[in-house]
Structure 1
Amino acid sequence: MEHAQEALFRPVRAGNAFEETVERLMQAIRLGVVGPGERLPAERELATKLGVSRVTLREAIRSLQENGFVESRRGRYGGTFVRMELPGVVPGLAETGDIRDALTLRKVLETGAAECAAGRSLGPSERRGLRSRLAESCSADLGEYRRKDSRLHLAIAEVTGSASLTAAIAESRMRVNELLDNIPLLEPNLAHSNEQHERIIASILDGDPAAARQAMAEHLDGTASLLRGFLT
């Protein structure tokens, strides 16, 4: 399994370091590269291989620990171990190809919507609406987060002025939400998502289509990393 570990534990991209670290760890666990009862590589070694800070790695490991995938043991032979019994995947989830299809469609639609919104001359009510939805999303608790997140993304679609695009994004969002409902909410990811939301809205309000598209793409890539890690 040494070569498989090398393939999985390779440097992640900087934009979504936490989310991609979770993805790599979950892939190693779900593929059995680090099997039940086995220990993950030492923290310093793993952080170096992934190219992330030890703080980011600890956040990722803590999130997996809180959701029942790994456990920490102290002492001479301590470390982070994969649990003998892992949380199961919810029956009836889409196949890997379906997940990939949903994520591809979402990325094409929503990056285009962000770019289009930033290219329009928005009126005062549209600008207030975006700021209001952003504030709601940033202040949402865990129970409300996905609903408020959806409202923000739909608000971006609405200010494009295209009813057809808004309807397509709403349908796409329904597909993605069905997948998101089957993975845990990770607080470091939510904090990062809120920062990304702020950059997306700022780019739209500043009238910078290229920046809006790039910020949305990076945001969606983070969500995609978590979905791939937990579900495929």
Structure 2
Amino acid sequence: MDLELTSGRIPHSLAASLRARIHMGELRPGERFSAERELAEQFGVSRVTLREALRVLQSEGYIEVRRGPHGGAYVTDLSEPAQAWRDRMIAESAALDELFDLRIGIEMATARFAALRSTRDDHEIMREATDALRKVSTQVQFRVADSQFHAAVAAAARSARLSAAVRQLRGELFTPLDILDLGVTPEEDADQHEAILSAIQTRDPERAETLMCVHIERTRATFKGILAIEAASPE
């Protein structure tokens, strides 16, 4: 489910939805967006509205528009928006904590409900995402596999609103792991996912939500540590 497109600010809401896809690795550096007609139909907007949204992303450095036979909107290397995001988080440290506080609350709830409501099919999807995480060879693949696991837990909670909230929060938390080394190895992350999955499979909601909290708090601490180092570094 994509971010809600509010009628008063549809181009900016659409830009936010596309931006979230990039942040989560669903659209990767160098990847071409779908054709304008397809995207417009997918989101139920006019091509004029879509172009306005793409102009917003272009102005922020997320995409470049190429002409010619292979033309279209392509995701950039993300260096410009990644640096802008880091600068904002350094300047507004409370904003980062607020994002993580809300993410912890939401994802603890998804882990609890997943332990109560999930099926074997859900467990298999989580297992596949965890196994994929152990096999990644690039930071972009790491980001995608990590997002797939958390999305699978949210889906297993059987709450469309919780799933949408998880997606929105992960979309706001820009984790350009291919640009910013967070010091988290795929194996370590997969081990934590494995423990969460085990708690969900054994129908232990308290343990599932506790492990999810520990997992996300670890990410918070790593993020803040990296940003603190960057803030202290000379220009």
Q: Equivalent residue for 1:157? A: 154
Paired amino acid for 2:119: G
1:210 corresponding residue in structure 2: 206
Letter in 1 for 2:105: V
Two-structure CA RMSD over aligned residues (Å) = 2.0
Q: Is 2:107 aligned against 1:110?
A: yes
The letter of the residue matching 1:157 is: A
* 1:98 equivalent in alignment to 2:95: yes
In structure 2, distance between residues paired with 1:191 and 1:134? 9
Instruction: Give yes or no for the alignment of 1:131 onto 2:124.
Output: no
- Matched-pair contact (CA < 8 Å) for 1:93–1:179: no
Which amino acid counterpart does residue 88 of structure 2 have in structure 1?
Answer: L
3-state SS of paired residue (1:177) = coil
Which 4+ residue blocks in structure 1 deviate beyond 6 angstroms?
A: none
Displacement, 1:93?
A: 2.7
Q: Give the counterpart letter for 1:186 in structure 2.
A: G
Structure 2 CA distance for aligned equivalents of residues 228 and 207 of structure 1 = 33
Q: TM-score, normalised by structure 1?
A: 0.56
- The reply on whether 1:226 has 2:219 as its aligned counterpart is no
> Which structure 2 residue ranges, 5 or more long, are not aligned?
1-81, 229-235
SS at match of 1:93: helix
CA distance in 1, matches of 2:104, 2:119: 26
Which ranges in structure 1 are unaligned for 5 or more consecutive residues?
1-88
Q: Which residue of 2 aligns with 1:194?
A: 190
Q: How many residues align?
A: 142
Q: Deviations over 1:72-115 (max 9, x none)?
A: xxxxxxxxxxxxxxxxx934433101111111111111111111
The one-letter code sitting in structure 1 at the alignment partner of 2:152 is A
Identity fraction in percent: 26
Q: Indicate conservation of the 8 Å contact 1:137/1:145, yes or no.
A: yes
Q: 1:181, CA displacement in angstroms?
A: 6.5
- In structure 1, distance between residues paired with 2:114 and 2:198: 11
SS at match of 2:151: helix
